Amino acid sequence: MESGPNCKNEEKAIYLWEMMKRAGIDPGAGILPRFSVSYASAQHGCQECRVKDRCRAWLDAAPADVFLPPRFCPNADILFELQVDQVGAGSQRRPKREASHVD
């Protein structure tokens, strides 16, 4: 996949949805008013990310059952907040905050 300046925006943001899935975040919740700004901000951050190769490698190597976005992710804070907000909204999955960085 091409990841340069000539790349379409949809292609640039593809890893965001994988990160969300790994975190147990419902991608469809972005249509809810209370989550829409966070989703839009995360998509913009992913589109502008300059470490896509590092992100892809992290997604391929990180354990599936432990999730905290890597420190280099521009969306790490947003993704964690979405995890907590969705857990508070009734989700059964709890974000794992400790011992989960795989950088």
| 66: confidence class by pLDDT, cuts 50, 70, 90 | low
Q: What is d(CA 35, CA 23) in angstroms, rounded to the nearest whole number?
A: 15
| 91: confidence class by pLDDT, cuts 50, 70, 90 | very low
Most confident of 10-19, 22-31, 72-81: 72-81
Q: What is d(CA 51, CA 15) in angstroms, rounded to the nearest whole number?
A: 11
pLDDT in tens, 69-85: 888 999 999 999 888 88
Q: Is the predicted pLDDT of residue 29 greater than 80, yes or no?
A: no
The average confidence (pLDDT) of the chain is 74
**What does the domain layout of the chain look like in residue ranges?**
9-88
